[in-house]
Amino acid sequence: MLKGIAGRTAIVTGAAGGIGSATCRRLHAEGANVVAVDIDGAGLDALTAELGDRIVAARADVSDPAATETFFATAVDRFGSVDMFHANAGVESKVNPIATFDLADFEKVMAVNVRSAFLGSSAAVRQMMTQPSAGKIVFTASIAGLKSDAGVSVYNASKHAVIGLARSLMKETGALGIRVNVVAPGVVDTRMMKPLEDGLGALAGIDGATLKAALLAGIPLGRYAEADEIAATVAWLLSDEVPYMHGEVVTVGGGLYP
Ligand SMILES: NC(=O)c1ccc[n+]([C@@H]2O[C@H](COP(=O)([O-])OP(=O)(O)OC[C@H]3O[C@@H](n4cnc5c(N)ncnc54)[C@H](O)[C@@H]3O)[C@@H](O)[C@H]2O)c1
C-alpha cells in the first residue's frame, strides 16, 4: 500500500475514460474516497457500480467554472475534504496542418485540456488551503507537452500549456505545502488513440494500422502503455511516498522520450 492515500479523498476528472478510470480504481484500492468526474454519465455509472462504496459520480463538463465549483462542493459535502486532485480530463485534437486550421477544434481542445486544468487546480488550491493536511495535485499532460509532431499543433499546444500551468502553480503552492506534479504519458492504449492513428495516417498517406505499426516501432519498449501503468505513477505522485517531488514532469513513455 502507498503511504498517505487510505482514508483521504481524491477528485479525478476524465474518470470514465482509460487513464481516469484506472486512476480511480487504483486510488480506491489504496483505500481512498473517490469523486469521479466526467461528462460521460453512463461511463461513470459503470465505474461506480464496479467499485461500490467510497465513490461518488459527478457528471460535469470540466471546462465549466460553475460545474467545477459544484463537484468540489460535492466532494467536501460527501467526504469532508479534497486531499488529492487529478486533473486528467482531455480530448485529442483533429489532425490538421496549421494552414488548414479548425478554430472550433482549437477552442474545444483548449477548453477541455487547459481551461479545465486551470479551473480545477484553482478550486483545489482554494479548498486545500482551508485544510490541516497538505494536498497534492497531479496534472495529466503528455509527452506531446514536451515535444511536438506535425499535424497535431492544437493538442501539442494544449499539453505544453498544462505543463506551463503546473510549473507556475508549484511556485505558488510550495510554501503552502501543496505538492504539484505532472505525469506525461507517451502512447496509452485508450479510446483516444484510434482517431489519432487514423488522422496521422491520412496525413502521411497511409492507413491507421500502418501508422500504428510505425508508432510502435519508434517506442523502445515496443508497445503502448496500459492505462493502469499511468495510474500507478499518478497514485505514487499523489501519495506520501515522494514528499520531495514537486514541480516534476514525470514521463511514462516506454522510452519514447527523450
Ligand atoms: N491515450 C494516450 O495515448 C494519452 C497520452 C498522453 C496523454 N493522454 C492524456 O490522458 C488524459 C486521459 O485520456 P485517455 O487516454 O484516458 O482518453 P479517454 O478518451 O479514454 O478519456 C478521456 C475522458 O475525458 C472525458 N471528457 C472529455 N471531455 C470532457 C469534459 N468536457 N468534461 C468532463 N470530462 C470530459 C471523456 O468523456 C473521457 O472519459 C487526457 O488528458 C489525454 O490527453 C493520453
Contacts of 41 (CB under 8 A, 6+ apart): 57, 59
Contacts of 168 (CB under 8 A, 6+ apart): none
pLDDT the model gives residue 185? 98
Q: Which CATH architecture has domain 9-191+226-252?
A: 3-Layer(aba) Sandwich (3.40)
Q: Which atom of ligand 1 is nearest to the CA of 61?
A: 32
DSSP-assigned letter for residue 248: -
Q: Which atom of ligand 1 is nearest to the CA of 21?
A: 16
CA of 187 to the centre of ligand 1 (A): 12
Asked whether the bond before 258 is cis by omega within 30 degrees of 0, the reply is: yes
pLDDT the model gives residue 166? 99
Paired with 59 in beta bridges are 38
What is the secondary structure of 79-128 as a DSSP string? HS---EEEE----PPP---GGG--HHHHHHHHIIIIIHHHHHHHHHHHHH
pLDDT the model gives residue 133? 86
CA of 19 to the centre of ligand 1 (A): 7
Q: Is 155 a catalytic residue?
A: yes
Ligand 1: which of 91, 197, 200, 250 to mutate, most ligand atoms within 8 Å of CB?
91
pLDDT, mean of each 10-residue run, the chain (258 residues): 98 99 99 98 98 97 98 98 99 96 97 98 98 96 97 98 98 98 98 98 98 98 98 98 98 96
Residue with cell 500504428: 212
Paired with 33 in beta bridges are 9
Question: Which residue's alpha carbon is nearest to atom 1 within ligand 1?
Answer: 188
CA of 14 to the centre of ligand 1 (A): 6
Smallest CA-to-CA distance from 45 within 61, 60, 53, 56 is with: 56
